[in-house]
């Protein structure tokens, strides 16, 4: 059995890939839809798209193209991966993409399961919670692209999709996989297309995985991958799943472009342990290429330290406000990304093979600058953040969303793993 995953963004794809590997399935991730067939022995193939907030028609077209390519690779089960905060407006894109995938597969029913309890995302009575808050009371209420003003997943689905929604509540999940399967059959008889499943803890995800292992299409966050992977993994694959993605290379660098609260704490902690250099926006704007070479010289001068040197453009909220007022928000952000792109290219030419990166945008820029199009998923550093290894080049990356990881993340990424 081979699983094909269609993920609606880059870090979300790495997130689910990490959970698949952690629970025993060897996994390979492609950034975008490859132009040709790929020979791989991986049990799961993840394709990352940029379909979360683009026009719905575009998201549908990308997702159907990804589905067709995954079918060509021999995938038999499919997983539409979206964020555990269900980032989607009344126009989509979760509803329209789900409808299109069901139709293409000739199926009439799927599940809606954004729960990821390890990161505080739970579903109860069909309502999505972020920590102890309803989704609509959390910071997602003010999201600039997909503001979430409702927490009821049944209403959210029916408002943006063409079918009917129903619920399998926590009490039913508690009764076990057979109880869930019976409930799915009853809901199907009632014409229910989207089955929202409650999940309050990991045991619920394991039960759902057992109940849904024969369903051709499931949809959700990365949590459901835990249960499904455990159904399909064997003792042999469990032991080997992480091997292909183990980190390699003896030269490492840490690049931080995120200004999230957690990344600020991670940078502050790491500066006490390793050489660190703050990126100066003014120099980025004056001569990005020359400044990049200067920073690479600094990195090279510190390459023999016990821990990798850190280049950071991470600022707290007050500093960020000053920078944006002085240089402009978009202009300063683009300048930093262009600098990190130049630094990455130069360090690769100088023999660097390990890149530890903080920030979703920065991660995308670094991967693109390195020419990384596909990678094996390796061991997990923190929930949702694995080491990954390029399938074509001797490069290893740790790509971290801003708020992921603990304060000691940068050090642990280097000291808790053996390198090959």
Looking at residue 358, its pLDDT comes to 94
The residue whose two tokens read 């979206």 is 82
Q: What are the structural domains, with CATH classification, of the chain?
A: 3-241 (3.40.50.10840), 244-415 (3.40.980.20)
420 vs 417: CA distance, rounded Å: 10
Max intra-chain CA distance, the chain: 68
195 vs 154: CA distance, rounded Å: 8
Looking at residue 209, its pLDDT comes to 98
* Greater pLDDT, 420 or 340: 340
Using alpha carbons, select from 185, 190, 187, 188 the residue that is nearest to residue 167. Answer: 187
Mean pLDDT of the chain: 92
Highest mean pLDDT out of 82-86, 132-136, 271-275: 271-275
Looking at residue 319, its pLDDT comes to 86
**Mean predicted confidence (pLDDT) in 218-245:** 87
169 vs 180: CA distance, rounded Å: 9
* b/e 204-241 (16+ beta carbons within 10 angstroms → b): bbbbbbbbbbebebbbbbbbbbbbbbbbbbeeeebeeb
Looking at residue 406, its pLDDT comes to 93
Looking at residue 420, its pLDDT comes to 65
Per-residue pLDDT of 281-325, as tens digits, reads 989 988 989 999 999 999 999 999 999 999 999 988 788 888 888
Q: What is the DSSP string of 271-306?
A: HTTS-EEEPPHHHHHH-HHHHHHHHHHHHHHTTTSS
Strand partners, 116: 121
Kindly report which listed range (107-111, 119-123, 259-263, 354-358) carries the lowest average pLDDT score. Answer: 259-263
Per-residue pLDDT of 160-173, as tens digits, reads 999 999 999 999 99
Q: What is the DSSP string of 38-98?
A: -----SEEEEE-S-SSS-HHHHHHHHHHHHHHHHHTT--EEEEE--TT---BTTBSHHHHH
Looking at residue 131, its pLDDT comes to 92
Looking at residue 144, its pLDDT comes to 59
Per-residue pLDDT of 339-392, as tens digits, reads 999 999 999 999 999 999 998 788 888 998 999 999 999 999 998 899 999 999
pLDDT exceeds 70 at position 75: yes
Per-residue pLDDT of 21-35, as tens digits, reads 999 999 999 999 998
Looking at residue 239, its pLDDT comes to 64
> How do strand 310-312 and strand 252-256 relate by DSSP bridges?
parallel
pLDDT exceeds 90 at position 401: no
Alpha carbon distances (Å) from 207 to 116, 130, 178, 374: 14, 22, 9, 32
């Amino acid at each position: 059995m081979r699983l094909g995953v269609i993920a609606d963004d880059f870090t979300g794809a790495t997130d689910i890939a990490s959970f698949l590997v952690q629970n025993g399935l060897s996994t390979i991730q492609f950034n975008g839809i490859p132009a040709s067939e790929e020979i791989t022995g991986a049990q799961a193939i993840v394709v990352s798209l940029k379909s979360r907030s683009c026009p719905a028609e575009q998201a549908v077209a990308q997702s159907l193209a990804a589905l067709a390519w995954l079918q060509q690779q021999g995938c038999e089960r499919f997983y539409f991966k979206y964020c555990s905060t269900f980032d989607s407006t009344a126009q989509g894109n979760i509803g329209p993409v789900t409808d299109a995938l069901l139709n293409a597969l000739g199926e009439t029913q799927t599940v809606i399961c954004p729960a990821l309890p390890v990161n505080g995302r739970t579903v109860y009575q069909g309502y999505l919670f972020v920590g102890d808050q309803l989704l609509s009371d959390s910071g997602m209420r003010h999201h600039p692209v997909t503001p979430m003003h409702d927490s009821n997943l049944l209403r959210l689905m029916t408002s943006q999709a063409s079918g009917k929604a129903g619920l399998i509540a926590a009490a039913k999940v508690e009764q076990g996989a057979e109880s869930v399967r019976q409930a799915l059959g009853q809901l199907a008889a009632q014409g229910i297309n989207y089955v929202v499943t409650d999940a309050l803890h990991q045991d619920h995800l394991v039960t759902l995985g057992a109940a849904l292992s024969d369903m051709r299409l499931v949809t959700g966050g990365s949590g459901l991958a835990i249960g499904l992977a455990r159904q399909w993994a064997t003792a042999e694959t469990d032991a080997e799943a992480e091997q292909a993605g183990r980190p390699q290379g003896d030269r490492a660098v840490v690049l931080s472009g995120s200004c999230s609260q957690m990344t600020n704490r991670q940078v502050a902690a790491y500066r006490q342990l390793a050489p660190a250099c703050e990126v100066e926006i003014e120099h980025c704007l004056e001569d990005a290429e020359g400044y990049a070479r200067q920073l690479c010289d600094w990195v090279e001068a510190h390459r023999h330290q016990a821990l990798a040197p850190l280049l950071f453009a991470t600022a707290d909220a007050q500093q960020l406000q000053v920078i944006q007022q002085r240089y402009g928000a978009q202009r300063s952000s683009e300048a930093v990304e262009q600098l990190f792109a130049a630094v990455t290219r130069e360090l690769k030419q100088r023999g660097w093979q390990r890149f530890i990166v903080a920030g979703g945008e920065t991660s995308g820029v670094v991967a693109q600058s390195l020419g990384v199009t596909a990678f094996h998923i390796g061991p997990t550093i923190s929930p949702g953040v694995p080491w990954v290894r390029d399938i074509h080049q001797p490069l290893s990356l740790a790509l971290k969303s801003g708020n992921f990881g603990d304060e000691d993340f940068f050090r642990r990424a280097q000291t808790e793993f053996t390198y090959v």
